[in-house]
Amino acid sequence: MPANGKRIMVVDDDPDFVMTTEAALKAAGYEVSQCLDATGALDAIRKAAPDLLILDVMMERGAAGFQIAQQLRREPAFARLPILMVTAIHQTTKLRFSPDTDGDFLPVDEFLDKPVEPEKLVERVGVLLAAAGR
Amino acid sequence: MLEDLGRRVAWFVRLRWLAIAGVLSASAVARFLLGFDFWVLPIVLVVAALAAANLGFHFWRRRRQDEPGLLLIARVQVMADLFALVLLLYFSGGVENPFSYYFIFHTIIAGILLPDKESILITTVAVVLYSGMVLLDYFGAAPHFPLTGFYQDPMWRQGSFVLVRLFVLATTLYIAQYFTASIRRRLNEKTDALAEANRQLQEADRNRVQSVLQVTHELRAPLGAVESLLDTIRKGYVGKCCDQCDARAVIERAYVRTKNLMTLTDDLLDLHKMELGSMVLHKTPLRLDRIVDEVVEDMLPSAVDKGVTISREGFADLPMVEVDAKSMTMVISNLVANAVKYNVSGGTVMVSARRREDGVEVAVADTGVGIPPAELPRVFDVFFQGENARKTKRMGVGLGLSLVKRIVEAHGGTITAESEPGKGSRFVVLIPTGNGAAPRQSPPYRGHDELPSP
């Protein structure tokens, strides 16, 4: 595994998801920071200034993840930050959020359904980082 | 309703063709088989006019599908029919012609098609038109068209005959109108009640589907977490990163999620058993202080952790109540657990009891965060989680209070919630003693289900 040292931040109020994501990413050589609290997430992201953000929709809290993503896009420093959004809501609501169709509404780079397979996550993170030239 | 009116108007147009054929054949039978003598030509002319009118109704009906239009057509039709029948009778013996009773059909049709007042009006128009025709005839104000051969002596000049005819016809018509209108009213009420019941069923069904979706979501989320946790071990990601994610910690987390999932499914099962009434309540007479003591003892460690004190009052000499010990323990422990969970460090939980005329009241009050007024009416709803509940994620999915309410109600009791945000909440359970009121029957025994221990 290449120890590439890219910094990835995981924002999710499910500590188990954060743990598994962190394990997979660290095994792939990334540096991982985490935030378990939607309220303090924006500040934590600004402070950590990661190379890529993994963000949960956090439907239970009025889709706090959406708001975080939208706010970040308004800030010049994070307008081009790759955001990978994860969610478990697809199966029950049939809502399909996609950056192709909902690009204006949801300025994120990719969506993944929970639970996310570790290899898939690592692969997508690599692709997004490469595309962003980071 | 509109579709119904349209169909009825169309039906009456079809019926009128039958009536026209009926008049023609009845005239033919009377004239040629029975040998009565009357002028056929005016009869044929009236029938021809009615047929022309009916053709008009047929096309008019096709062009007007709106409610006022259809009602207008219905009114014009009834009036046309009344005039047609009066003319037919006039040209074939007047008061002597027994077909005058056919006015009853107009009355019934008006009673079905038109509002009450209007159908009374139509009945009155029929009575007035017929009486006018008969009286004009009687007083010689209009030429008489005889129906020869039906009565031995001409009756149309006999006052008593004319009066009795008019009286019997008028009463027949008004009574028929009354019956028709009341039957229609009752049918309409039944139809409305059925439509309302159907609407409620549909809504209940939509809610049920939504609830199934939500349950599925609530079951899937922890399963997904467990899958991810196991995957981390299975694929060897554990141990390559940090001290935090050793295999034991990962397994512990998976275990906790599985255990929560189990609690959730147990709660769901209880909830639905309660709903079906198939959960067996083994009611025995006991005093609630025993249950409260047990619950408080169980809760003490978590209360101490949180810096919350639990106290009791009013349990000294309570009357016995008939309750199922296990499910009542679930009720009290749910309420006390919530009171601890949503409390603040240094807060208190007060469990108090009070004898009331109709039963025993147990109140659980806390000094915690409270429930916003907007959320208060929904706290007993299945899967409802308030803002504060969502902040303490993964400790529940919003089933506890729904289950509590169902258990209390299965005991014939009530539960209410009151709260002041920032100051605390208070839940009051009333369990009837059953000596004043008739004791509630426990739900029928349907199997060997028992309440799992809370």
Q: Is residue A2 part of a domain?
A: no
d(CA B117, CA B44): 34
Nearest beta carbon to residue B229 from set A20, A27, A92: A20
Q: Is residue A65 part of a domain?
A: yes
The pLDDT of residue B35 is above 90:
no
The pLDDT of residue A93 is above 90:
no
The pLDDT of residue A51 is above 60:
yes
- Which chain B residues are Cβ-neighbours of A13 within 8 angstroms? 393
The per-residue pLDDT for B365 is 94
Mean pLDDT score, B341-366: 90
Q: Which residues is B186 bridged to in the sheet? A: none
Q: pLDDT-based confidence at B452, cuts 50/70/90?
A: very low
Q: Is residue A1 part of a domain?
A: no
The per-residue pLDDT for B255 is 92
Could you report the per-residue pLDDT of B136-182, keeping only the tens digit for each? Answer: 999 989 899 988 888 888 888 889 999 999 999 999 999 999 999 99
Q: Is residue A32 part of a domain?
A: yes
Which of B214, B229, B237, B391 to mutate to probe the A interface, most A CBs <10 Å? Answer: B237
Residues 317-376 of B with CB under 8 A from A: none
Residue of chain B nearest A37, judged by CA positions? B391
Q: pLDDT-based confidence at B442, cuts 50/70/90?
A: very low
Q: pLDDT-based confidence at A89, cuts 50/70/90?
A: low
The per-residue pLDDT for B70 is 86
Distances (CA, A) of B257 to B87, B236, B246, B251: 89, 21, 17, 10
The per-residue pLDDT for B207 is 79
d(CA B149, CA B155): 12
Tell me, what's the ipTM?
Answer: 0.78
Tell me whether A16 touches chain B (CB under 8 Å): yes
The per-residue pLDDT for B27 is 92
Q: What is the span of the domain harbouring residue A112?
A: 7-131
The per-residue pLDDT for B396 is 59
Which of A18, A20, A87, A113 to mutate to probe the B interface, most B CBs <10 Å? Answer: A20
Among candidates B98, B103, B109, which has minimal Cα distance to B130?
A: B103
Mean pLDDT score, B310-337: 88
Q: Are B131 and B164 in contact (CB under 8 A)?
A: no
- Which chain A residues are Cβ-neighbours of B393 within 8 angstroms? 13-14, 60
- Which chain A residues are Cβ-neighbours of B213 within 8 angstroms? 92-93
Cβ B241–A23 below 8 Å, yes or no? yes
Phi, psi of B121 (to 5 degrees): -60, -45
- Which chain B residues are Cβ-neighbours of A61 within 8 angstroms? 390
The pLDDT of residue B439 is above 70:
no
Q: What is the mean pLDDT of chain B?
A: 85
Distances (CA, A) of B242 to A20, A22, B103, B402: 12, 9, 98, 42
CATH classification at residue A25:
3.40.50.2300
Question: Which 3 state secondary structure label does DSSP give B318?
Answer: coil
Q: Which residue has the tokens 């004009």?
A: B136
What is the Cα B397 distance to its own chain's centre?
Answer: 30
Residue of chain A nearest B241, judged by CA positions? A26
- Higher pLDDT, residue B162 or B4: B162
Q: Is residue A120 part of a domain?
A: yes
The pLDDT of residue B445 is above 60:
no
Dump the DSSP string for A90-101.
HHHH-----TTT
The per-residue pLDDT for B56 is 94
The pLDDT of residue B334 is above 80:
yes
The pLDDT of residue A110 is above 70:
yes
The pLDDT of residue B449 is above 70:
no
The pLDDT of residue B61 is above 60:
yes
Residue of chain B nearest A13, judged by CA positions? B393
B216 CA: distance to closest CA in chain A (Å): 7
Among candidates B328, B262, B339, B266, which has minimal Cα distance to B299?
A: B339
Residues 46-105 of A with CB under 8 A from B: 60-61, 88-89, 91-93
Q: What is the mean pLDDT of chain A?
A: 81
Query: What is the total count of domains within chain A?
Result: 1
CB–CB contacts below 8 A, A to B: 82
Mean pLDDT score, A55-82: 83
